[in-house]
A and B are shown apart, each in its own frame.
Chain A
Amino acid sequence: MTTPLHGPAKALRLAAIAATLAALGAGFAYAAGWIGAPRLTPQRIIDTFEAQAGHHPGYRKNHAKGLCVSGYFQASGQATSLSSARVFSQQKVPVIGRFAIGGANPFAPDTAIPVRSLALQLTSDDGQVWRTGMNNPPVLAVSTVEGFYEQVLAGAPDPATGKPDPARLQAFFAAHPESAAFRQWAASYKPSDSFASTAYNSINAFRLIDANGQAHPVRWALEPQAAYAALPAQVDDKQFLQHDLQQRLAQGPLRWTLRLTLADPGDPVDDPARPWPAERRSLDAGTLVVEQVDGPEQGACRDLNFDPLILPHGIEPSADPILAARSAAYSVSFNRRSHESLTEGARP
């Protein structure tokens, strides 16, 4: 054992120790994003939603207006050679779901928003959980998170009109040629009169993993079995789609076919803006049966985060960067609304 240090030698060593601790602290602050160049974070994306649509405590920060449903999924058995996930072989998989319209305003009229979504949780009897959030457009307008953020900014409501500035939107689309497929969809989109007659698309690609560990890039869509009817030109009911769904479910269950579309080698599997050629092989993986509606924001779906990366064994994410960003941003939304529920008693 040596003697303790004193004088300048001690001061020098103490300074070195302090510098070491300060460096570690600074590294931590940098990792947290507290110092350094501002980055695009999931918090910033959610902040932007809230800045544009207003602060609505307790609600989801996007696709804020929706309602909970429940039912089951009945596998056809046709997908069992492509994925080992139990949902594709089990007779009847319990499902919790949520129909919603796009946007961060929970009080928007149902028919004012072109984007409709269906989020599902399928829980198979092996304890595995599959959550998926699907929208009615088959593709996104952008391929990257930065592009998505620019799109959100370009779509900001003009304070004068309360609507997005057409010039800004036009400039955004001009700067993002990858949005061609989305614009084509938007131009030809004829909204149906019901959530029940709407198709919902995974948009992002995933990988089905078969029993041999082989991966099959896939996109999925729920195709409605209810007949299409155009949305009336004039709709006065702000809850038009919710009321319609409640009425239809009072008559009996509603059905969708889960269609899996497989990519060919060379297809863009990591780009949510680019569709695959129409002739790609697809198969009917089973039928989604929605039996019950729980009510607006009431029911089992309310306290779930439909993070699209919650996947069962047998389904894996693609390298699509939007998928990772969705997972990160959904988590921020879930944390915020749970916090609001606690501190403000906000329960939609």
Chain B
Amino acid sequence: MSATVFHPLARLLHWLMAVLILAMLFIGVSMVADLSPRHPWLVELHKATGLALLVLVILRIVLRLSLAHPPLPRDLPPLQRLAAGASHLLLYGLMLAMPLLGWAMLSAGGYPRPLQLPAIAPHDLQLYAVLRQAHGWAGYLLFATVLVHLGAALVHGLVRRDGVLRSMWPGPLRRGE
């Protein structure tokens, strides 16, 4: 029999990263328009959290590929099934791309990296411009995808009531529900 809920470790990672990613999106979008003494503090926090998220997303991808995960409800229309698959692929792609773009962008801009990490891109102003733009737009796309993901999860949990939200529920699960 296949699993009906995600592995506890997968659920822990999901919610930990959900909190961190939402915080990162808000920090990122506010720090660039901020010139108060919060600015440098937010930038440092953004870099440190970005690095933590890079480690977490790699772990998450490994877990996703190795642990059993519950299938989607059998009665889900094919179009929604496709949307679910595509949006998850996009989420994973963006979760991986965001910290890498941040790291590459610091490298291309000639900026020091946290923990003196090596450069992963050559110091080049035009490349920096591309990566900086990409980091920003990927951030907006990630925020939009997170909203869609959250909306879909709530529809599954509150309207369809099909067990999909329950399968990723952060708290203890009652049996036979």
Chain A residues within 8 Å of B, Cβ to Cβ: 1-5, 10, 13-14, 16-18, 20-21, 24-25, 27-28, 31-33, 39-43, 45, 127-129, 145, 302-305, 307, 309-310, 317, 319, 321, 323-325, 327-329, 331-332, 334-335, 337-339, 341-343
Tell whether, in the assembled complex, residue A338 and residue B160 are in contact, meaning their CB atoms are under 8 Å apart. no
Report chain B residues within 8 Å CB of A338: 109, 125-126, 128-129, 132
Residues of B within 8 A of A127 (CB): 116
Shortest C-beta distance, A317 to chain B (Å), equals 7
Minimum Cβ distance to chain B for residue A94 (Å): 14
Do A339 and B133 have beta carbons less than 8 Å apart? yes
Name the residue on A nearest B27 (C-beta).
Answer: A31
Known: A1-B163, A13-B159, A334-B109. A317 touches B33 (CB 8 A): no
Measured in the bound complex, the distance between the Cα atoms of B130 and A156 in whole Å is 33
How far does the alpha carbon of A323 sit from the alpha carbon of B37 in the complex, in Å?
8
Q: What A residues does B150 contact at CB under 8 A? A: 20-21, 24
What distance in Å separates the Cβ of B91 from its nearest Cβ neighbour in chain A?
16
- Interface of B, helix, strand, loop or mixed by DSSP: helix
17 additional contacts (CB under 8 A) given A20-B151, A28-B25, A42-B35: A1-B163, A1-B177, A21-B147, A24-B147, A31-B26, A42-B33, A43-B33, A303-B125, A307-B111, A309-B40, A319-B37, A323-B40, A324-B36, A331-B32, A338-B125, A338-B132, A339-B132
Q: Which of A14, A27, A310 contacts B112 (CB 8 A)?
A: A310
Q: Flag if A33 contacts B154 (CB, 8 Å).
A: no
Chain B residues lying within 8 Å of A334, measured Cβ to Cβ, are: 109
Q: Does B123 contact A (CB under 8 A)?
A: yes
**Shortest Cβ distance from B31 into A: residue:** A328
Q: Which residues of B contact A328 (CB under 8 A)?
A: 34-35, 39
Q: Are the CB atoms of A28 and B26 closer together than 8 Å?
A: yes
Which applies to chain A's interface (DSSP): helix, strand, loop or mixed? Answer: helix
Compute how far the CA of A266 lies from the CA of B93 in the bound complex, rounded to whole angstroms. Answer: 53
Contact partner of A25 among B36, B133, B147, B159, CB < 8 A? B147
Say yes or no: A145-B132 contact (C-beta < 8 A), given A4-B161, A21-B150, A310-B112.
Answer: no
Q: How many residues of B contact A (CB 8 A)?
A: 41
The residue on B at minimum CB distance from A338 is B129
State the Cβ distance, A5 to closest chain B Cβ, in Å. 5
Q: Are B34 and A32 in contact (CB under 8 A)?
A: no
B163 — nearest CB in chain A belongs to which residue?
A1
A5, B159: Cβ atoms closer than 8 Å? yes
Residues of A within 8 A of B26 (CB): 27-28, 31
CB <8 Å contact, B29 and A32: yes
List chain A residues, Cβ under 8 A from B112.
128-129, 310
Q: With the chains together, A253 CA to B123 CA distance in Å? A: 28
Q: Which residues of A contact B30 (CB under 8 A)?
A: 31-33
Chain A hits for B151, CB < 8 A = 17-18, 20-21
14 intermolecular pairs with C-beta atoms under 8 Å apart? A1-B161, A13-B159, A17-B151, A17-B158, A20-B151, A20-B154, A28-B26, A303-B125, A321-B37, A334-B109, A338-B132, A339-B133, A341-B125, A343-B129
Chain B residues lying within 8 Å of A16, measured Cβ to Cβ, are 158
- Shortest B7–chain A CB gap in Å is 20
Q: Which residue of A lies closest to B22 (CB)?
A: A24
Q: A40–B35 contact, CB under 8 A?
A: yes
Closest partner residue, chain B, to A320 (CB atom): B37
Say if the beta carbon of B110 comes within 8 Å of chain A: yes
Structural contact, B129 and A339, CB atoms closer than 8 A: yes
**Are B35 and A303 within 8 A (Cβ)?**
no
Contact B33 A33 (CB under 8 A): yes
* Contact A303 B39, beta carbon cutoff 8 Å: no
Give CA–CA (A344, B51) in the complex, Å: 33
B143 in the interface (beta carbon within 8 A): yes
Closest 4 CB pairs of A and B: A342-B129, A328-B35, A338-B129, A325-B35
Q: Which residues of B contact A341 (CB under 8 A)?
A: 125-126, 129
Task: Answer whether A305 and B159 are a contact pair too, CB < 8 Å, given A17-B154, A42-B35, A319-B37.
Answer: no
Q: Is B155 an interface residue (CB 8 A)?
A: yes
Min Cβ gap B74→A in Å is 12
CB distance from B161 to the nearest CB of A (A): 5
Which residues from chain A contact B125 at a C-beta distance below 8 Å?
302-303, 337-338, 341-342
Q: B155 to A17, Cβ gap below 8 A?
A: yes
A contact residues around B155 at 8 Å (CB): 14, 17
A41 partner, pick from B33, B123, B132, B163, beta carbons under 8 A: B33
